[in-house]
Amino acid sequence: MIRKLFLLMFLSMGLSAFAQKKEVNPNIDAEWRFIRSQQMELLSGSFYSYEFPAEKGYDYIFNLDHKQQGLYAVISVYDLQERLVQQTTQPVSNESADLNFDVEVSGTYKVIVGLTDPNGKKGDKLPGQFSLIRRIKI
């Protein structure tokens, strides 16, 4: 019995170590945690979609860091009925785009991210980083 208890404690400590913490604003007490973060090779003019589970009572931030001037970064969130929930299009002078997303109903959502050239040019391969972080709503 004691072995099982120690094993459970050890496993729970190990699992909690996988969550990364990110300090977004040091003036806010709640900690942000990475849900997903990945390097991407984006094609200008192409869009990528991901489904993710979201829980009521949490705030989420999507970030697309592309380090490429002259492009618009687009981030859109849809519910599973394909209704637009939140969207942002960042101007060409930014090399990073953020979208705050407040979850009113727990469920699966879809985020669509991409870069567009205001001149209509397509197909350039661009390195980027996509991240999704969340915190308990305060």
- pLDDT recorded at residue 95: 76
pLDDT, residue 108, reads: 95
| Residue 111: band (very low, low, confident or very high) from pLDDT cuts 50, 70, 90 | very high
* Per-residue model confidence (pLDDT) at position 13: 39
Predicted pLDDT at 1: 45
Q: Could you tell me which residue, 110 or 33, shows the higher pLDDT?
A: 110
CA distances from 18 to 12, 13, 34 (A): 11, 9, 10
Both tokens of 27, joined, read 């003036």
Q: What is the mean pLDDT of the chain?
A: 76
pLDDT tens-digit profile of 22-61? 444 544 546 888 888 888 888 888 888 989 999 999 999 9
Which domains does the chain possess?
A: 20-136 (2.60.120.380)
Residue 37 phi, psi dihedral angles, 5° rounding: -150, 130
